[in-house]
């Protein structure tokens, strides 16, 4: 078992795997079989343990006992206690450790998942987020006792404003998508303050699915703008669709095809000429940190995905934060309360904004994620952030240049921090899904697939990967291209090293069967 996990957790170089019918699989199976049965059983936590086992010894409570019926309304009480498993501490630790080893993670695997910016999350972030002064406080404590976290939040909002080139930021939204919704609400409030109720929100056809979803939740009509064959916005289509009923254009720049749209200033002019607002989906800020600022290229309003750009472990619905930056004319509509620095130098909350859209998140926002973003920004500094963007872009373009002879790329370089390939496996019948699954055998997380265009892979290496890792990835990709020529079934039947092969992805998500039958 241990051997198998170590094998899995590294990127497996082609020469150890590509001989004949996949040695990786044989090695892994042999290692797995050698492990003692007892440890290999994959029971659910609910099937483990025995009555009476307990991981914690609690002292006798010094709070007087009351009958539960007198403390909790009858209709809220259950007849029997929940059937929770009874386990020792070590059982629980082993259970979760073994589950942790079964997943792909950035700590163990290269993770070129386009658009998601799965970069390494520096450990210093965790260290700071777990400091008791941040981790063990409560939002209802006296403001005087919360000065540290308030100062951190205040500073973070000023840094994010500076990076955006926009005057003010709210830290409330809990994710990128929530930031989009908050921004659209701000934009609606702005138009309403001018006696207008604009219904249309435009977004290029390469937009992330959350863009039209946010429009719909905000009660607006989402309308798609065509992209040109070079991945840029089709200005003619934009001109034809933008009008006095358009509230905003939502744009991602660099966009999800991996290109920076240099016509952005023209786009801003076209949108503003109709009184509409230019909104930037800032998920790709990683590529432009310290190089250019959205406020400088005409953006009125944007969100950050701090968990992507400023590193917090995310994915699988993990935590995020989606701060929103706005231009001067949108400031009155920002959510309240806003964290402020007072004239006496203390920090506190300001709710005095009569035109505010109100509150979009309880308490102080996703504080743990915001502390990590602050730590990340402070530990890198201005030059460090610029370096992030330069290396992210360099790494993506390096991979693209080394792969292009085998992997066609529909959009011309240069790329930003990610790029798209539509693999052409001729008439082998191999698809992008097969390639993604085969990468798993080599210890690499599959890239984003089939979006924003059909049959593509979107590859984002991030700045945190070394040249050696990038070279290994290239070698693996070229090896798989060879495998397709030599033995397409090897690729079509991948993965060969996983406990499960191809799942019905919808059913696996909606009706998960978490039992592993080796």
Ligand X SMILES: *Cc1c(COP(=O)(O)O)cnc(C)c1O
Query: Tokens at residue 51, please?
Result: 């009555």
Q: Single out the residue of 108, 281, 465, 483 in contact with ligand X (rule: CB under 6 A).
A: 281
Assess 261 for contact with ligand X (CB under 6 A). Answer: no
**Number of residues lying near ligand X (CB under 6 A):** 13
Assess 435 for contact with ligand X (CB under 6 A). Answer: no
Assess 312 for contact with ligand X (CB under 6 A). Answer: no
Q: List, as own/partner pairs, every contact residues 402-407 make where C-beta atoms lie below 8 angstroms and the sequence separation is at least 24, other chains included.
A: 402/474, 403/474, 403/477, 403/478, 406/477, 406/478, 406/481, 407/477, 407/481
Q: Which of positions 223-252 make contact with ligand X (CB under 6 A)?
A: 252
Q: Single out the residue of 227, 257, 305, 356 in contact with ligand X (rule: CB under 6 A).
A: 305
Largest CA distance in the chain: 76
Cβ nearer to ligand X, comparing 320 with 365: 320
SS (H, E, C) 127-165: HHHCCHHHHCCCCCCCHHHHHHHHHHHHHHHHHHHHHHC
Query: Tokens at residue 134, please?
Result: 């941040």
Stretch that binds ligand X, among 170-178, 231-239, 463-471, 497-505 (CB under 6 A): 170-178
Cβ nearer to ligand X, comparing 252 with 472: 252
Q: Quote the Cα angle for 208-210-213, to 5°.
A: 130
Assess 452 for contact with ligand X (CB under 6 A). Answer: no
CB of 44 to ligand X, least distance (A): 29
How far is residue 142's CA from residue 159's CA, in Å, rounded to a whole number? 26
Q: Single out the residue of 176, 290, 313, 335 in contact with ligand X (rule: CB under 6 A).
A: 176
Assess 417 for contact with ligand X (CB under 6 A). Answer: no
Cβ nearer to ligand X, comparing 208 with 496: 208
Q: Single out the residue of 295, 320, 323, 447 in contact with ligand X (rule: CB under 6 A).
A: 320
CB of 402 to ligand X, least distance (A): 25
Q: Which of positions 78-117 make contact with ligand X (CB under 6 A)?
A: 115
Q: Quote the Cα angle for 187-188-193, to 5°.
A: 100
Stretch that binds ligand X, among 44-52, 74-82, 157-165, 172-180 (CB under 6 A): 172-180
Q: Single out the residue of 210, 375, 395, 472 in contact with ligand X (rule: CB under 6 A).
A: 210
Query: Which of these, 504, 101, 102, lies nearest to 513 by C-alpha position?
Result: 504
CB of 453 to ligand X, least distance (A): 14
Cβ nearer to ligand X, comparing 214 with 397: 214
Neighbours of 196 (CB within 10 A): 13
Cis previous bond, 40, omega within 30: no
Stretch that binds ligand X, among 34-42, 130-138, 175-183, 220-228 (CB under 6 A): 175-183
Select the residue whose beta carbon is closest to ligand X and give its number.
176
CB of 208 to ligand X, least distance (A): 3
Cβ nearer to ligand X, comparing 210 with 227: 210
Cβ nearer to ligand X, comparing 210 with 472: 210
Assess 28 for contact with ligand X (CB under 6 A). Answer: no
Exposure b/e, 306-330, CB count within 10 A at least 16 = b: bbbbbbbbbbeeeebbbbbbbbeeb
* Residues ≥6 apart with Cβ < 8 Å to 373: 156, 306, 310, 311, 312, 321
Stretch that binds ligand X, among 131-139, 169-177, 399-407, 461-469 (CB under 6 A): 169-177
Whats the size of the chain, residue-wise? 518
Assess 418 for contact with ligand X (CB under 6 A). Answer: no
DSSP state of 110: B
How far is residue 84's CA from residue 53's CA, in Å, rounded to a whole number? 11
Residues that bind ligand X (CB under 6 A): 115, 175-177, 208, 210, 252, 256, 281, 283, 305, 320, 322
């Amino acid at each position: 078992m241990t051997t198998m996990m170590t094998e899995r957790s590294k990127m497996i170089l082609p020469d150890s795997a590509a001989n004949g019918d996949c040695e990786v699989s044989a090695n892994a199976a042999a290692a797995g079989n050698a492990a003692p049965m007892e440890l290999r059983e994959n029971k659910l936590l609910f099937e483990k343990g025995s009555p009476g086992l307990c991981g914690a010894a609690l002292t006798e409570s010094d709070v007087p006992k009351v009958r539960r019926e007198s403390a909790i309304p009858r209709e809220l009480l259950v007849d029997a206690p929940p059937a929770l498993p009874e386990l020792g501490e070590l059982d629980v630790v082993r259970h979760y450790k073994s589950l942790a080893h079964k997943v792909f993670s950035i700590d163990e695997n290269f993770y070129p998942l386009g658009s998601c910016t799965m970069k390494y999350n520096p450990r210093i972030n965790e260290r700071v987020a777990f400091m008791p002064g941040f981790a063990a406080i409560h939002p209802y404590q006296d403001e005087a006792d919360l000065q540290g976290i308030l100062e951190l939040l205040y500073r973070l909002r000023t840094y994010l404003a500076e990076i955006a080139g926009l005057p003010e930021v709210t830290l409330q939204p809990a994710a990128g998508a929530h930031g989009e919704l908050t921004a659209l609400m701000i934009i609606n409030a702005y138009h309403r303050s001018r006696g207008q109720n604009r219904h249309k929100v435009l977004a290029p056809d390469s937009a992330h699915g959350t863009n039209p979803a946010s429009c719909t939740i905000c009660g607006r009509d989402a309308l798609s703008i065509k992209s040109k064959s070079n991945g840029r916005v089709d200005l003619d289509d934009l001109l034809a669709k933008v009008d006095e009923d358009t509230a905003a254009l939502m744009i991602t720049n660099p966009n999800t095809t991996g290109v920076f749209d240099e016509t952005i200033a023209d786009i801003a002019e076209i949108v503003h000429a109709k009184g509409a607002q230019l909104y930037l989906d800032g998920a790709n800020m990683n590529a432009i940190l310290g190089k250019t600022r959205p406020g400088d290229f005409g953006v009125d309003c944007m969100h950050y995905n701090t968990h992507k750009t400023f590193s917090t472990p995310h994915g699988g619905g993990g935590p995020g934060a989606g701060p929103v930056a706005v231009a001067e004319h949108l400031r009155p509509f920002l959510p309240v309360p806003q964290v402020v620095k007072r004239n006496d130098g203390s920090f506190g909350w300001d709710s005095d904004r009569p035109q505010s859209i109100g509150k979009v998140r309880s308490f102080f926002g996703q504080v743990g994620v915001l502390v990590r973003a602050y730590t990340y920004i402070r530990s890198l500094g201005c030059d460090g952030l610029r370096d992030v963007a330069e290396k992210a872009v360099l790494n993506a373009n390096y991979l693209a240049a080394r792969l292009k002879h085998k992997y066609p790329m529909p959009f011309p370089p240069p790329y930003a921090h990610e790029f798209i390939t539509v693999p052409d496996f001729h008439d082998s019948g191999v698809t992008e899904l097969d390639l993604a699954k085969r990468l798993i055998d080599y210890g690499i997380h599959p890239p984003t697939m089939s979006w924003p265009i059909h049959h593509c892979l979107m590859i984002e290496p991030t700045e945190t990967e070394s040249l050696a890792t990038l070279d290994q990835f290239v070698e693996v990709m070229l090896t798989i291209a060879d495998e397709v020529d030599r033995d397409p079934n090897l690729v079509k039947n991948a993965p060969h090293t996983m406990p499960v092969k191809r799942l019905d992805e919808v059913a696996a998500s909606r009706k998960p069967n978490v039992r592993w039958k080796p």
